[in-house]
Structure 1
Amino acid sequence: MGVFSCSTMITSSIPAAKAFDAIVNANNLISEVLLPVLRSAEFVEKFTSMEGNRDRTVKHKIEALDNENFTYCYSITEGDALGTTFEMITYEVKITMLPEGGSVCKNTIEYFAKNDADITEEKIMAVKEKASALSRAIEAYLVVNPHV
């Protein structure tokens, strides 16, 4: 099994505590923010979204959550998003405060490939773009709705 990782860093005008809360409790923002990006979603024990004409189900496992230091680590352990390529995908989020206000969100993603699966740069870039779109959607919503 191969392990591949990549990192992204996103600067935001949203204060660190508020950004962290939005990420950890993203299911609270589904109807207002994420549905336009995901198309549809439902929370039961699993997270299901619709992409194109395919249902995609994802089961998350929280690995670590530190509210004081704004760190959150979770893994996708089951579901269609893993396909035949991945055993698991782990996301680690760390948010830090900026001196002038706002925050920086650093995301590190580790892909645990099945056997000798080929993980191309295009696949990783597609995941990065989707994560970036979700982050931009959450930030835009919080800017317009500061009371949330």
Structure 2
Amino acid sequence: MKLAFNCTFTHEGVSNVSIDRLWKAGILDAHNLMPKLLPDVITKVELLEGDGGAGTVKKFVFSEAVKEFRYIVDKTDALDDENHIIKQTVVEGGLIGSRLKSYSFELKLEAGSNGKTVEKTTVHYETLDDTPLSVEEQGQINASFSLMTKAVEEHLIANPAAYA
């Protein structure tokens, strides 16, 4: 019998967009915005339960460009508009069952200098075996967060009135 292995890793980035606009577009309206901004990666996002707040369940369906899996179903565990924190758990799809037993993440946005936003992501995971994710595997997870954030950032810079 294999024992599960619990672990955490973090990633930090900086966006050139204000915290409020990034929160509104990238978090609160991600289900509408992501398929429009990344149609070659995310084909659709289905709202399965809830109204966008805590308890909401969403299904992100990916294109053939994502080789490892076709979809992710995540549940919003907490959504704190005042402090710009979202906590979500992947409940189905993604790396569940292939490499991971479970994984969740917390994203916190903080106001940076000169109108920028500091993004801090912490990923908690439990592997199916007793080995932690490699640096490469962690990098792939971080890259997916970065891809979405960069797409939102570019959209907001190109459309200064959007989500203002």
Q: TM-score range by the shorter chain?
A: 0.7 to 0.9
Q: Which moved more, 1:27-36 or 1:46-55?
A: 46-55
- Aligned-pair CA distance for 1:118: 5.2
SS in 1 for 2:39: helix
Superposition map of 1:33-44 within 5 A: 33-36=37-40, 38-44=41-47
- Look up the equivalent residue of 1:106 and give its one-letter code: K
Alignment size in residue pairs: 147
Please give the alpha-carbon distance, in whole angstroms, between the structure 1 residues aligned to 2:79 and 2:42: 28
Within the candidate set 62, 73, 77, 2:91 is matched to 77
Please give the alpha-carbon distance, in whole angstroms, between the structure 1 residues aligned to 2:147 and 2:66: 20
Within the candidate set 105, 122, 126, 1:108 is matched to 122
Equivalent residues of 1:77, 1:87 under 8 A apart = no
Q: Which moved more, 1:57-66 or 1:46-55?
A: 46-55
- Look up the equivalent residue of 2:60 and give its one-letter code: F
Please give the alpha-carbon distance, in whole angstroms, between the structure 1 residues aligned to 2:45 and 2:147: 20
Please give the alpha-carbon distance, in whole angstroms, between the structure 1 residues aligned to 2:9 and 2:25: 22
Equivalent residues of 2:34, 2:148 under 8 A apart = no
SS in 2 for 1:65: strand
Residue 15 of structure 2 corresponds to residue 12 of structure 1: yes
Equivalent residues of 1:62, 1:74 under 8 A apart = yes
TM-score normalised over the length of structure 1 = 0.86
Equivalent residues of 2:32, 2:45 under 8 A apart = no
- Look up the equivalent residue of 2:37 and give its one-letter code: V
- Aligned-pair CA distance for 1:137: 1.2
- Aligned-pair CA distance for 1:138: 1.1
What is the aligned-residue identity percentage?
23
TM-score normalised over the length of structure 2 = 0.79
Q: CA RMSD in A?
A: 2.0
1:52 matched residue in structure 2: 65
Q: Which moved more, 1:58-67 or 1:82-91?
A: 82-91
SS in 1 for 2:133: coil
* Greater helix fraction, Structure 1 or Structure 2: 1
- Aligned-pair CA distance for 1:81: 3.4
1:139 matched residue in structure 2: 153
Deviations 1:69-119 (A, max 9, x none): 101110101114324211221110111112421211111111221243552
